[in-house]
Structure 1
């Protein structure tokens, strides 16, 4: 393939339990693809297989045509795959600005510069300012993250992940724990992501999924049940019976 992520015949067994069964998936630059499925479907395991947290039993993972199965998690991040987490992983006592400065400095190989005068790090701080502006966080720049509402903390986490300059972004339940009144912050942030960024959204909030996804993959018992446009998925009787009409976490 010319670019993006390609998963071929991916399998994962834990003992006698199969949690990923012959999964094939393509994520091209600019894609906004959602991964849905009932509790226990294997969504988190699949994300962990992509990011290198969990090694596959068999199958292939290509990034821009390069086999990355043997890449470590850290090497995959450097190659362009980044993932947010269900629970925010921020430095709660640091300000928004300081949280975002860390990954920008790390990516630039200048983590030693965190405590240097801002005047000597003008390029770094300009990038941080741009990140805060794109996620509507500028007014919170100098507030400790622990003082922000949960929805705003999720925005900081998304901005932090984007600071790594990924080409593949995996959003792991970005609306988890966010009050319904604030979910527009998440959907607006997803809509504003760079056009050439490939995004995989793992989410239980069906309203959010149908707002932001251009295609949806349905995973059941580690197997892809179907994939299609939101309108097709909404009408699929198997999806309605197995997922949309069922209680889910």
Structure 2
């Protein structure tokens, strides 16, 4: 059986507007693939097709050889597909620790116990502490999220998403809004992700892309212009003219 994510000839139309055109790509286990392109290229639309927020007009999406093209978003999350967002989607009035604990309880279908009165569980608390440590968040564990710097909030969001134990992770502009002085926090966190996790990174920050991706796909007007290694992409004249040389990123 083919493992990982496979996208085959996927297109998406909104009325007469075609925003994705016959996209085909593979995201095998352990992939670190970046999806780049100018604003309006269709990158976020494509990500929403993968997670099930949108349904393809044509084409198919497979997970481990099974067609998931028509499965709802919640079912895909349960199957192991997760996505972070351009704007942090956190519980700002809760602590960092509580934010990390909630998706673990949700994964174990125990969220109701948190809402009533959570008495603690050694296995859950051990996982919370391990996750906080992995993202170097232990010193901030009891801080309210709303009091954190934006780069720190992005780390919490990434930790929260990883608590769902996805197999396919889509990072939608993980460095968006993060000051350049803090961008190393995001880069380091991505480098520490589990080796067998498949990661698709949608990003304008080319420094981040070339630092963490081992394959880059360039999307223009909803279709793949070119794909290759970072070195191949950086030297491709079409990319330099249409994207890198145009001041995007």
Question: Offset of 1:2 from its aligned partner?
Answer: 2.2
2:132 matched residue in structure 1: 132
In structure 1, what is the Cα distance between the partners aligned to 2:53 and 2:2? Answer: 25
Alpha-carbon deviations, 1:92-147, whole Å to 9, x = none?
010000011110001011112222222xx111111111110000000000000011
In structure 1, what is the Cα distance between the partners aligned to 2:179 and 2:51? Answer: 28
1:154 matched residue in structure 2: 154
1:74 matched residue in structure 2: 74
Question: Offset of 1:16 from its aligned partner?
Answer: 1.3
In structure 2, what is the Cα distance between the partners aligned to 1:42 and 1:117? Answer: 45
Alpha-carbon deviations, 1:190-219, whole Å to 9, x = none?
000000000000000000000000000000
Look up the SS of the partner of 1:45 in the other structure: helix
Question: Offset of 1:181 from its aligned partner?
Answer: 0.5
1:247 matched residue in structure 2: 247
* 1:227-238 matched pairs, under 5 angstroms: 227-238=227-238
Residue 50 (structure 2) pairs with residue 50 (structure 1): yes
Look up the SS of the partner of 1:102 in the other structure: helix
Look up the SS of the partner of 1:21 in the other structure: strand
Look up the SS of the partner of 2:243 in the other structure: helix
Alpha-carbon deviations, 1:8-65, whole Å to 9, x = none?
0000111111110000010000000000000100000000000111111000000011
Residue 122 (structure 2) pairs with residue 116 (structure 1): no
TM-score, normalising length: structure 1: 0.98
Residue 222 (structure 2) pairs with residue 219 (structure 1): no
TM-score, normalising length: structure 2: 0.98
1:6 matched residue in structure 2: 6
1:36 matched residue in structure 2: 36
| Alignment RMSD | 0.8
Question: Offset of 1:247 from its aligned partner?
Answer: 3.1
Residue 15 (structure 2) pairs with residue 25 (structure 1): no
1:176 matched residue in structure 2: 176
2:190 matched residue in structure 1: 190
In structure 1, what is the Cα distance between the partners aligned to 2:155 and 2:219? Answer: 27
* 1:81-100 matched pairs, under 5 angstroms: 81-100=81-100
In structure 2, what is the Cα distance between the partners aligned to 1:197 and 1:180? Answer: 26
In structure 1, what is the Cα distance between the partners aligned to 2:16 and 2:245? Answer: 30
In structure 1, what is the Cα distance between the partners aligned to 2:12 and 2:112? Answer: 40
In structure 2, what is the Cα distance between the partners aligned to 1:186 and 1:13? Answer: 33
